[in-house]
Amino acid sequence: MLTKNNTIYDVVIIGGLGHVGLPLGIAFAEKGLKVCLYDIDKNNGEMVKKGQMPFIEYGAQEILEKVLKAEKLFISFDTKDISKSKYVIVTIGTPVDEHLTPRTRAFLEFFESIREYLTSSQIIIVRSTVYPNTCEQLLRMLSNGKSWHIAYCPERITQGYAIKELRELPQVIAGLSDHAINSAAALFSLIAPKIIKTSMGEAELVKLFSNAWRYIQFSMANQFYMISHKFGVDYERVRWAMKEGYERAANLPSAGFAAGPCLLKDTMQLAAFDVNNFLLGHAAMMVNEGLPNFIVENLKKRYDLSEKKVGILGMAFKADIDDTRDSLSYKLGKILRFNGAQVYYSDEFAKNPTFISKEKLIENSDVIIVAIPHSNYKGIVIPESKEVVDLWGIVKGGKRELPQGYIASEYTSVNFFNSAFSQTVRINKPLKNKKFLR
């Protein structure tokens, strides 16, 4: 335990019931620290108190039950509890506004709202993704003649796999005082295999560059997919040929929706920081956000969508989680409805009263779009009478919406691991003289 100087907790996590804060709190509590999760989300709070994870986080449920029983994890809705810990970790969201520019002022105003519960003896750790120089602004705002200890320790986890990755990924540490840096390093060394100390500016760019890099990688795959489609070639076969025995292409992803609450947002934060000169970032946004339009436009070339029923399998923003925030599946659905289609939604993990089962969706739909490659979709057999748009290559049967002039193929399963999509794709072995349209 780290508690001292009349503090009750070792760590208070602000935003502690969210996708970043809750796994982190559970991880620290598992190491024996007394952790307080402060939040305003009472629904999630009541679930956690009962030992129930409010969202999918693989490996967390068993640990949550254990740390609650050991009285190492506590839930609070009282702002006063922020003052009762040596470490204060901030994990609140940092969205961009309607113009895709950072809302830095809102982040600083949040600190103004809790200022009376913070003390200069605490170690304040910002874990939220922030616009560069935000921590320096925070220090100036708090100072008032006192020495404050502010550290920046960005999270780089994949949602749904935080418990695993907190144990495996190095933790980047930066701070505005030696005491802040060393204290944050001491705390995170309890759960991270390696500590990487950097300057504040370096740490801020590490996080933004990491997400922008991934977002751009996915846009390259999506652009390649679109080019292949127009040329009458299957992108997955091209990708397989590129990767096979050729390590320099080993990280080329599959095509697919690149969505969620972080990648686009952080890419746009970086674009704003570069005074909108980040041309690659803007181009990536156009490609990734344009993929739903590309799918619909290709369907329109073949059908009058006002006469079609279209089912979308997968409404979460990525595979095997239940988070639908900023999912491109909804954008796809809106575009289809705008073009007159009747649209059905289904998901294996996300819950919504408007969703229907995958079986009913397949039965009701003329066209089935596999938007997200949930593992439960692998091997689903679609009736041959149904049109299928399957970027991931994980379902069987149906009429394949393949490029015009494409050579019909015998499918063979090949496993590729992609950290963003976690999928199985099918590689095509061409058969002679059999053509069909995509």
Each residue's pLDDT tens digit, 329-356: 999 999 999 999 999 999 999 999 999 9
What is the pLDDT, as a whole number, of residue 144? Answer: 80
In a domain, 3, yes or no: no
Please check whether residue 2 lies inside any domain of the structure: no
Name the pTM for this structure: 0.88
Name the pLDDT band for 4 (thresholds 50, 70, 90): low
pLDDT for 22: 98
* Residue after which a domain boundary falls, among 133, 165, 198: 198
**In the chain, how many domains are there?**
2
Q: Answer yes or no: is pLDDT of 67 > 50.
A: yes
Q: In this structure, is residue 4 part of a structural domain?
A: no
Q: Both 235 and 332 in a single domain? A: yes
Give residues with Cβ within 8 angstroms of 144, minimum separation 6: none
Asked if 53 and 99 sit in the same domain, the reply is yes
Using DSSP, state whether 127 is helix, strand or coil. Answer: coil
What is the DSSP pairing of strand 35-38 with strand 9-14? parallel
CATH at residue 133: 3.40.50.720
Q: Which is more confident, 61 or 144?
A: 61
The verdict on 163 and 15 lying in the same domain is yes
pLDDT for the residue numbered 392:
84
Q: How far is CA 166 from CA 67, 178, 358, in A?
A: 17, 24, 34
- Structural domain that includes position 347: 207-436
Amino acid at 282: H
Pair 61, 86 in one domain: yes
Helix (H, G, I), strand (E, B) or coil at 426: strand
With bands split at pLDDT 50, 70 and 90, how would you rate the model's confidence at 62?
very high
Q: Looking at the domain assignment, is residue 1 inside a domain?
A: no
Closest-CA residue to 77 (of 51, 28, 108, 42): 42
Kindly state whether residues 168 and 216 are assigned to the same domain.
no
What does the DSSP 8-state code read for residue 316?
S
- Separation CA 219–CA 258 (nearest Å): 8
Q: Which whole number is the average pLDDT over 210-231?
A: 96
In 88-234, which residue ranges form alpha helices assigned H by DSSP? 104-114, 134-142, 162-168, 178-188, 200-231
Does residue 296 sit in the same domain as residue 416?
yes
- Assess contact for 208 and 218: CB atoms under 8 A: no
Residues 246 and 362 in one domain: yes
Average pLDDT over residues 345-368: 97
Please give the structure tokens belonging to residue 103: 């809302």
Residue 27, classified by CB atoms within 10 Å of its CB into exposed (0-12), middle (13-18) or buried (19+), is: buried
pLDDT tens per residue, range 22-39: 999 999 999 999 999 999
The answer to whether residue 187 is domain-embedded is yes
Indicate if the alpha-carbon torsion angle 155, 160, 163, 167 is positive or negative. negative
Looking at the DSSP bridge assignments, the partners of residue 342 are 309
For residue 436, which of 395, 394, 399 has the smallest C-alpha distance? 399
Q: Which residues pair with 382 in a beta bridge?
A: 397
Q: Which residue has the tokens 């069987």?
A: 396
Q: Is 205 exposed, middle or buried (0-12, 13-18, 19+ CB in 10 A)?
A: middle
d(CA 10, CA 29): 9
H or E stretch including 81? none
> Looking at the structure, do residues 170 and 193 belong to the same domain, yes or no?
yes
> Residue 1 has what pLDDT?
55
Contacts with 301 (C-beta within 8 Å, 6 or more apart), sequence order: none
253 and 164 in a common domain: no
Residues 6+ apart with CB under 8 A from 69: none
Is residue 397 assigned to a domain? yes
**Which of the pair, 397 or 293, is modelled with greater confidence?**
293
Residue 303 has pLDDT above 90, yes or no: yes
Ranking 5-9, 95-99, 299-303 by mean pLDDT, the lowest is 5-9
Q: In this predicted model, what pLDDT tens digit does every residue of 248-275 receive, in sequence order?
A: 999 999 999 999 999 999 999 999 999 9
Residue 412 lies in a domain: yes
Tell me what pLDDT residue 418 has. Answer: 34
Q: Is residue 173 located within the same domain as residue 152?
A: yes
